[in-house]
Amino acid sequence: MTHAHITAWVVALILFFVAVSLQRGNSPKARMMQMILRLFYLIIIGTGALLLYSIATIPPLYIVKALVGIWVIGAMEMILVRAAKGKSTNVFWIQFVIAFIIVLYLGFTLPLGFDLF
Ligand code: HEM
């Protein structure tokens, strides 16, 4: 499940940047990319939830990890939706970077799967 989770967010990250660049080029494909990206949001949340179910008693840090994961997804969604409306996205880019760093750190610190830090 760890691999499915990592694959899901790596693919989502790539799709996100593709969607951002399509949007900047005013391509009509940007919306389609955004819909596919939303499907991956669900896969990330689904695989993350299954990882949570795999442990009997969930330590608080796992809840923090899950919430920050949802924060990353929220920031990506806000960037794309606001950019489509021509609104400023700076605040959400900052949130995206901060939340992404926290979630990577927490993910790889927590004991399941790979233990990088
Ligand atoms: C874009 C969003 C997300 C990113 C970048 C992300 C990233 C990661 C990473 C790097 C790991 C560590 C994998 C490993 O140890 O090999 C991980 C594990 C995990 N993630 Fe996520 N995640 C995201 C969203 C979520 C969400 C939404 C949830 C919950 C619904 C979630 C729940 C978990 C759980 C429970 C683990 C296992 C922790 C452990 O290693 O012990 N993640 N995630």
Within-domain flag for 75: yes
The pLDDT score that the predictor gives to residue 59 is: 86
Within-domain flag for 38: yes
DSSP string computed for 11-67? HHHHHHHHHHHHHHTT-THHHHHHHHHHHHHHHHHHHHHHHHHTSSS--HHHHHHHH
The pLDDT score that the predictor gives to residue 116 is: 59
The pLDDT score that the predictor gives to residue 68 is: 98
75-95 pLDDT tens trace: 999 999 999 999 999 999 999
The set of protein residues with a Cβ atom below 6 angstroms from ligand 1 is: 2, 5-6, 9, 44-45, 48-49, 51-52, 62, 65-66, 69-70, 72-73, 103-104, 107-108, 110-114
Q: Looking at ligand 1, which residue's alpha carbon is closest to its atom 12?
A: 107
Burial of 93 (0-12, 13-18, 19+ CB in 10 A): middle
Percent of the chain with pLDDT over 90: 82
Ligand 1 centre distance from Cα of residue 98 (Å) = 15
Ligand 1 centre distance from Cα of residue 107 (Å) = 5
35-64 pLDDT tens trace: 999 999 999 999 999 999 988 788 889 999
Within-domain flag for 116: no
Within-domain flag for 103: yes
pLDDT higher than 70, residue 10: yes
